[in-house]
Amino acid sequence: MELFIELSILIAITVLIAGLMRALKQPLIIGYIFAGILAGPRLLDIISSTETMSILSHIGVALLLFIVGLGMSPKVIKEVGKVSSVTGVGQVIFTTVIGFFICRLLGFSTIESLYVAVALTFSSTIIIMKILSDKGDMKSLYGRISIGFLIVQDLIAIIILMVISSTPTGANLTKFVFGTALKGFGLMVVLFLFGVYILPGITKSIAKTQEFLLLFSIGWCLSLASIFHYMNFSMEIGALLAGFTLSMSPYRYEISSKMRPLRDFFIVLFFILLGSQMVFTDIIPYVAPIIILSAFILIGNPMIVMTLMGLMGYTKRNSFLAGLTVAQISEFSLILIALGVKLGHLTNEILSFVTCIGLITIAGSTYMMLYANKIYPPLSKYLSIFERKGRKVDEHKYHDYESYDIIVFGYNRVGYDLLKFIKKMGKRFLIVDYDPETIVDLAKEGVDCRYGDASDSELLNELNFSKCRMIISTIPDFDTNLLLISKIRESNKKAIMIVVSNDLDEAIELYDKGATYVIMPHFLRGQHTSTLIEKNGLDFDMFLEEKIAHIEDLKKRKKRGHEHVEDEGR
């Protein structure tokens, strides 16, 4: 009962601080961390069941990475595997080397410099996954690349932590690393075989009962996470692979949607616990190093990623957006420094010092990622130095014409319906979407299309709107639609501009800014039902025909992954 009361008070405090953050239009993640600091041992000292809270927060981490794994597939890994590996390893190497020399110049000892430099290389997978999910960018190309190099970073972090923690035992390092690699490879092979030959049959049988499917998914996630932890691997990697083994299942969307509410609750506890464990002592002597190293993480790390991606032929925009995701240190960084203190290599002051860097960079990078689309345009011309000349590997242009009668932004559920009718009109049309998989699939069908984000002003400048007669945005993001309307009205006052909104006040403002019509999906349901009744009356056979046609349409949509609202494209 004491745990229940403790958790209730903790959630109440978090609700108040998160509410304040929302009123101030600040990221909720920052509110969760501040709630943890407030509830921690240095202030209110509410959290006494630290071990239980830690278990609950680890469940949140496991569920988060499990859902990320569900969104992965061999096709995605093939597409971004190379750039993710090069960027992940390269960023770790360059950040370590540069960070080490900065620390030495600031007066730290060799061992302190090495620990701090390595700690600065790791980015917070949990925070980045949460922000990408909140922004709806998990399926974007930069989002996939970011997830890829974060996984590479985590693997490197795990190896480093395992090696350092084995130091006092006097174990043979070569034998230890070789044995670990062999054991890991064996686990992967067993898991792959199970996922290909056994798991599909199990999920097909279980999926007949939705509640059982949810229970099985949670059990599968936590079981694999526990097995990997027991085998001295990362619990996070186990959860990620648990999701990946189900990523080719036709039931992955049902599993993902059912587990999201659980993930969101438990991941909040992770951030609260993270805040409560931040250690602050006398940091006045470290103020200058904190500022310098925080600036290096916030600016230097993104520049390293932009340089590496630019050399591999990616556009400066995708390089910039991916670079921002590494502009903070992670929980692995704090674990590494705490381990150094435990082994007697470092002092508690160094732990406080790195904790401050963590708080500053987590807060700073959160804002940078959330407002990346507003930060990018004024910086765009200066970022050209990170971009190679010529055709880029991530442009994905599959069209020959310079002008079109109709341009559709976002090939999601709404775009899917529109495409069928636009084809019948016999007009020249272009589809723009931010999911590279979608673009490749459309290109195979012979549809004129191109990869791009509707919030990218440079993309909008490339498109010829002057002769366009209709522009349709199926994207419900208010700021994106405002930008589209503004850009289009600059060159074309008479084009029909149709956008989507889920908010009444925003819909009215979109009309004021120049939208010709605003689609509000929530209000279309009643209209559609009324139209059906008006068309078919009380004729049972006519409704039966509608049912058969609807079932066929639903089957086609399911193959395209249109089940859930979160999958909106840009």
Q: Give the residue from 149, 177, 143, 84 showing the smallest Cα distance to 436.
A: 143
State the pLDDT at residue 562. Answer: 54
- pLDDT of residue 202 exceeding 70: yes
Q: How confident is the model at residue 61 (pLDDT cuts 50, 70, 90)?
A: confident
With a cut of 50, say whether residue 251 has pLDDT above it. Answer: yes
State residue 525's pLDDT score.
Answer: 65
What mean pLDDT is reported for the chain?
Answer: 81
Higher pLDDT, 149 or 564: 149
pLDDT band at residue 167 using 50, 70 and 90 as cut-offs: very low
pTM for the full model? Answer: 0.70
Spatial distance between the Cα atoms of 431 and 410, rounded to a whole number of angstroms: 7
Average pLDDT over residues 155-184: 61
- Please name the residues in contact with 128: beta carbons below 8 A apart, sequence gap of 6 or more: 146, 150, 325, 369
pLDDT of residue 165 exceeding 60, the answer is no
Q: Are 245 and 223 in contact (CB under 8 A)?
A: no
pLDDT category of residue 299 using cuts at 50, 70 and 90:
very high
Instruction: Work out the average pLDDT over 28-55.
Output: 82
Joined tokens for residue 191: 């898991």
pLDDT of residue 567: 43
Q: Strand, helix or coil at 330?
A: coil
- Rounded CA separation 286/291 (Å): 9
Of residues 342 and 356, the one with the higher pLDDT is 356
The pLDDT confidence band at residue 570, using thresholds 50, 70 and 90, is: low
Q: If pLDDT is split at 50, 70 and 90, which confidence band does 243 have?
A: confident
For residue 318, count CB atoms less than 10 angstroms from its CB and return exposed for 0-12, middle for 13-18, buried for 19 or more: buried
Phi, psi (deg, nearest 5) at residue 482: -60, -45
Question: How far is the C-alpha of 532 from the C-alpha of 553, rounded, in Å?
Answer: 16
pLDDT of residue 105: 93
- Consecutive H or E run containing 323: helix 316-324
Q: Return the DSSP state at 169.
A: G
- Residue 303 has what pLDDT? 93
pLDDT at 323: 92
Reduced to 3 states, what is the DSSP secondary structure of residue 397? strand
Using the predicted structure, report yes or no on whether residue 250 has a pLDDT greater than 60.
Answer: yes
* DSSP-derived secondary structure for 324-393: HTTSS--HHHHHHHHHHHHTTSS-HHHHHHHHHHHHHHHHHHHHHHHTHHHHHHHHGGGGGGGS-SS--T
* pLDDT value of residue 565: 45
Name the packing angle between helices 316-324 and 301-311 (round to 10°).
150
Burial class (CB in 10 A: 0-12, 13-18, 19+), 96: middle
Q: Which of 93-102, 297-306, 334-343 has the lowest mean pLDDT?
A: 334-343
- Is the pLDDT score of 296 beyond 90? yes
163-172, 345-354, 552-561: segment of lowest average pLDDT: 163-172
- More confidently predicted of 45 and 77: 45
> Which pLDDT belongs to residue 418?
77
User: Of residues 535 and 433, which shows the higher confidence score?
Assistant: 433
The predicted structure's pLDDT at residue 566: 43
Ranges 124-128, 277-281, 391-395, 439-443, most confident: 439-443
Report the alpha-carbon distance of residue 503 to residue 476 in Å, rounded: 9
- What is the pLDDT at residue 527? 66
pLDDT tens track for 455-510:
888 888 888 888 899 998 988 888 889 999 998 988 888 889 988 888 888 888 99
